[in-house]
Amino acid sequence: MNLAIIGCGGIGRMHAEMAARCGLKIVACADKDPDAAKALARRYNALATTDADGAIRRPDVDIVLVTTPTPRHAGVVIDAAKAGKHIFCEKPFASTVQQGRTAIAAVKKARVKLFVGHVVRYFHEFETLRAQIQAGKIGEPGYVKMYRGGIYPGGPSSWFRDYAQSGGVTFDCMIHDLDWLRYMFGEPDRIFCQALRRSEPEKLDYSQVTLKMRNGMLALVIGTWAHPAGFQVKVEVCGSAGMLQFDSNISSLSAMKREVKGAGPTMIVPSSAEDVSPYELEWRDFIGWIEGKHEPRVTPEDALRAVEIALAALKSADTGRPVEL
């Protein structure tokens, strides 16, 4: 199958490599910056163009990869659907819920497949956490704490630095964790968010989200674009029989049993035997879905719900009040 890439920045380049590893042929690279399109096209002997519509409509294109800034996602998805192409769209799926609904309607009308890159569902550490919890290793889970963040992304002219376009760390980054919480523990009932979105004298963004889940669990999600350097992910899941922890700066995963009479605590440190990138795993899942082998781990409706939850968090931050979901 042949792939057209719409958006040739850093995330587009990364996905191009993953798609190529999975056997797709990249035939067109489109970007409003002709130098970005040419640089990526050279790697794969593909057409470089600033005409996204032309790249999408090429008769030899089977799949369209959407890695533009978020405000353009829904529009490109709709164009690709109307052209009869399958679509891989980077998260967040859309800037608004209505945009997402319109895009899904276009996809269904065209009877093409849409996959949205909620890649945390494919990270080995998060899948190990999921397996341990579902196997009852920590008993009944009651509390989750998640942390994700690093430096403020992009240069001075980057679209990430425009909160109106990116939604800041809450919408662009924490949407990963909000999606995983729902994937793992079901729907949230209520969300409350406090966020610092500073523009001067230096861009900083820090957000804290508290969720009450329908199953009674509590969750705290912290996101930051305020680190002086680096990037870190942390997860803590507490249950009636133990606790699971993951810290990307320390180890892959650790598990601790609660003490029982006659026995001390034990430590289990499972490692990921897989050496395949989670970004490649999501492409494998998408391609397998196109080929009719299985259903995908992420549906368009999942991606739309993640947008809805993240936007509710931003609404809470703006109003200072919790939002019912």
Q: Per residue in 198-232, pLDDT tens?
A: 888 888 999 999 999 999 999 999 999 999 888 89
Q: Residues 257-280: what's their mean pLDDT?
A: 51
Q: Would you put residue 282 in left (φ > 0), alpha (ψ -120 to 50) or beta?
A: alpha
d(CA 39, CA 24): 19
User: pLDDT-based confidence at 262, cuts 50/70/90?
Assistant: very low
Question: Could you count the other beta carbons within 10 Å of the beta carbon of residue 251?
Answer: 13
Phi, psi of 144 (to 5 degrees): -130, 135
What does the domain layout of the chain look like in residue ranges?
2-117, 121-274+305-324
Q: What is the mean pLDDT of the chain?
A: 92
Q: What is the pTM of this model?
A: 0.92
Per-residue model confidence (pLDDT) at position 265: 31
Superfamily of domain 121-274+305-324: Dihydrodipicolinate Reductase; domain 2 (3.30.360.10)
Which one, of 73, 40, 78, 97, lies nearest residue 165 by Cα?
73
Q: For domain 2-117, which architecture applies?
A: 3-Layer(aba) Sandwich (3.40)
Check if 2-117 and 121-274+305-324 are the same fold. Answer: no
Residues 6+ apart with CB under 8 A from 237: 129, 133, 138, 141, 143, 144, 243, 244, 245
Token reading at 279:
């970004």
Per-residue model confidence (pLDDT) at position 261: 44
Q: Would you put residue 229 in left (φ > 0), alpha (ψ -120 to 50) or beta?
A: beta
Percent of the chain with pLDDT over 90: 84
Per-residue model confidence (pLDDT) at position 254: 55
Per-residue model confidence (pLDDT) at position 263: 40
d(CA 218, CA 211): 6
| Residues 207 and 224: beta-carbon distance below 8 Å | yes
pLDDT at residue 272 greater than cutoff 50: no
Per-residue model confidence (pLDDT) at position 251: 63
Residues 6+ apart with CB under 8 A from 217: 141, 142, 143, 144, 185
pLDDT at residue 270 greater than cutoff 80: no
Instruction: Pick the range with the lowest mean pLDDT from 109-113, 134-138, 267-271.
Output: 267-271
| Residues 255 and 132: beta-carbon distance below 8 Å | yes
d(CA 55, CA 2): 11
pLDDT at residue 247 greater than cutoff 70: yes
